[in-house]
């Protein structure tokens, strides 16, 4: 059985202290999973994408799992 990787996207913006904490929390979870799961991790700045900025400006950081919102503002491992 082939298991597809989990697509994990962290939406951030520069200078965001909550984004820094979210980045650390996400990294911790990915480390703990180790080889138990395949994770494709991507970080995007909402400042680089007007559509993301409009949609998520008041909610960052945002964690998307397979394209769906999983967590906003405070990210807990």
One pLDDT digit (tens) per residue for the chain, 77 residues: 556 788 999 999 999 999 999 999 999 988 887 776 788 899 999 999 999 999 999 999 999 999 999 999 988 88
Strand 6-12, strand 39-45: pairing: parallel
Per-residue pLDDT, 44: 96
Instruction: Say whether 57 sits in a helix, a strand or coil.
Output: coil
């Amino acid at each position: 059985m082939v298991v597809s990787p989990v697509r994990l996207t962290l939406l951030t913006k520069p200078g965001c202290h909550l984004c820094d904490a979210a980045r650390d929390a996400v990294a911790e979870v990915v480390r703990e999973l180790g080889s138990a799961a395949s994770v494709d991790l991507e970080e995007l700045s909402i400042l680089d994408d007007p559509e993301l900025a409009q949609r998520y400006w008041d909610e960052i950081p945002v964690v998307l799992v397979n394209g769906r919102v999983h967590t906003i503002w405070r990210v807990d491992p």
